[in-house]
Structure 1
Amino acid sequence: MTDLLPPSAALFSELPVYLPEAVAAFGPTIVVAPHPDDETLGCGGLLALLRQAGLPAWCVLVSDGAMSHPNSRKFSAQARQALRTQELRNALAILGLPGDALHTLGLPDGSVPAPETASGAAAVGQLQQFFTATQPQTVLVPWRRDPHPDHRASSQLVRAALAGLATPTRLLEYVVWAWERAAAHDLPQPGEAQGFQLNISSVLPQKQRALEAHRSQLAGGPIDDDPTGFTLAPSMLAHFAKPMEVFFQVTT
């Protein structure tokens, strides 16, 4: 008896495949990551290909990432935040991004606010300022119904920020937890979005090295005193060891 594949597997495997050269159409690009490691899991290959093509790329980190191991005594919340931010910087460097390519919002991990709240509205304003300063042609954020509340809230913040800009910006959505945890109604519905797979085989080893930089999220990581702490399961990591990354452009 074999395990049933998640509904995402069939949907994603049927999407058209774009060659690496397709990244030229992305132009200057910003990847919005709810937590450190989302940028590499969902878009690490894309970021590496963009930098190989000489295109500017940035990363916006939404949350502080401190709640992955909340019961650690060796690492305080401040220490966890510092560790995860440094891991993110290391990963981005491996992917070819310069040191000044990271912009952090510092919102609470596990409680990223909606744009209609006071803290959410402030985050929308910060995003608008950063988008205005960098003038991206493409912005990426997790799929709007990706099965994590911070991912969904990040999508809402980005959409609110883009809606207030004078210059239209292409919005693409990437999947992280939708690979494993999405119910059928969480996935793109017929006519809702146009999806594609990007062939990242030429930079897959680079992506894997970047993922290894997020040591605290992997088995055997440095935060070893919280048995309830989060680590990426082998089954989850297997999705991101594939030579394809999945993106959607919403049409409705």
Structure 2
Amino acid sequence: MSSAVSFFTDLPLRPAKAALVFGPTLVVAPHPDDETLGCGGLIALLRQAAVPVWVVLVSDGTMSHPGSQRFPAAARQALREAELRTALARLGVADTALTCLRLPDGRVSSQDTAAIAQLNQLLLATRPVTVLTPWRRDPHPDHRATTALVQHALAQLPTTPRVLEYVVWAWERAAPADLPQPDEMQGWRLDIHSVLDQKQHALAAHASQLPNGPIDDDPTGFYLTPSMLAHFAQPFETYLEPLSPAEA
């Protein structure tokens, strides 16, 4: 067992009802499928309780199969956004609650001033109690850039919502330095066993990212491996929350 898996699976487990204290929640996802992988269970629990959830898709998602001829970039973007809308519907999130920034997949910039302004305006319009963003050192440059964009946007608000960071690639790719350091974060797991089937149903909507998906003419194209998917078939999700100076 890797050090990352040991770290995440050893975190304390909180009951599903703990999700309700998060209140209206904004989820920021670097790519279509990150929202379901990282926090699909939490989204489902919130929506079951009629708590508002908004989702921001940061990138255009086009680099998963860059060699496809049948699905050129515009078609890949359209397909992946359609998959995302289906996944969100299965989690109970309205289509009108999705915002797509469409930054270049693989080249999301943490200094994109237009994206920061869009995020800031959305935060002001929705006024979420909680914001969910990727783990700040998740081992993918778009994930790290996404969290930096969110941090820039939050810094411009008069009051800051609660921020939780969810884990995607750190399960398999994290080096020791990528993991939370002592006195940096409070980590815990959320029990999602009651909505695990719903999460898996939502994940199945992202068919282009799964083995034997519809984009079959790019032999170097990306898909989520069985070992990766296994992390997100567990009856819990992992969250990291920054410690305040007083707590550290």
User: Which residue of 206, 222, 225 corresponds with 1:214?
Assistant: 206
Amino acid at match of 2:93: L
SS state at 2:55 partner: strand
Matched, 1:175 2:171: no
Amino acid at match of 1:90: T
Shift of 1:121: 1.1
Equivalent residue, structure 1, for 2:71: 75
One of 78, 81, 84 as aligned partner of 1:85: 81
Q: Which residue is 2:107 aligned to?
A: 111
Structure 1 gaps of 5+ residues are none
Q: How does 1:57-76 map to 2 (within 5 A)?
A: 57-76=53-72
Query: How far off its partner does 1:99 sit?
Result: 1.5
Measure the CA separation in 1 of the matches of 2:155 and 2:83.
Answer: 32
Q: Which residue of 2 aligns with 1:200?
A: 192
| CA distance, structure 2, for counterparts of residue 226 and residue 14 of structure 1 | 38
Q: Given the alignment of the two structures, is residue 127 of structure 1 paired with residue 119 of structure 2, yes or no?
A: yes
Residues matched between the structures, number: 244
Q: CA deviation at 1:216?
A: 0.2
| Distance in 2 between residues matched to 1:239 and 1:114, nearest whole Å | 28
Structure 1 CA distance for aligned equivalents of residues 114 and 165 of structure 2: 23
Return the alpha-carbon distance in structure 1 between the equivalents of residues 37 and 21 of structure 2: 22
Match of 2:14 in 1: 18
Aligned to 1:158: 150
Query: What is residue 240 of structure 1 aligned with on the other side?
Result: 232
Give, in whole Å, the separation in 2 of the partners of 1:36 and 1:99: 14
Taking structure 1 as the reference length, what is the TM-score of the superposition? 0.96
Map Cα deviations across residues 184-215 of structure 1 (whole Å, 9 max, x no partner). 11000111100110000000000000000000
Residue identity (%): 63
Deviations 1:26-76 (A, max 9, x none): 000011000000000000000000001110001100000011000000001
Cα distance in 2 for residues equivalent to 1:143 and 1:16: 18
**How many angstroms apart in 1 are the aligned matches of 2:110 and 2:198?**
34
SS in 1 for 2:19: helix
Q: Deviations over 1:128-175 (max 9, x none)?
A: 000110110000110000000000000100000001001221111000
Could you say which residue in structure 1 is the equivalent of 2:3? 7
**How far apart, in 1, do the equivalents of 2:122 and 2:110 lie?**
19
Coordinate RMSD, CA, aligned:
0.7
Give the deviation of 1:80 after TM superposition: 0.1
Residue 6 of structure 1 and its aligned partner are, at CA, apart by 1.8
| Cα distance in 2, alignment partners of residues 63 and 56 from structure 1 | 23
Partner of 1:33: 29
| Separation in 2, partners of 1:74, 1:147 | 30
Runs of 4+ in 1 over 2 A off after TM superposition: none
Residue among 223, 226, 231 paired with 1:231: 223
Give 3-state SS (helix, strand or coil) of 1:130's partner. helix
User: Does residue 56 of structure 2 align to residue 98 of structure 1?
Assistant: no
Post-superposition Cα deviations, 1:218-245, rounded to whole Å, max 9, x if no partner, equal 0111000000000000000000000000
CA deviation after TM superposition for structure 1 residue 14, in Å: 1.7
Q: SS where residue 191 of structure 1 aligns?
A: coil
Letter in 2 for 1:82: A
| TM superposition shift of 1:12 | 1.1
SS in structure 2 of the partner of residue 242 of structure 1: coil
Trace 1:177-192 onto structure 2 (pairs within 5 A): 177-192=169-184
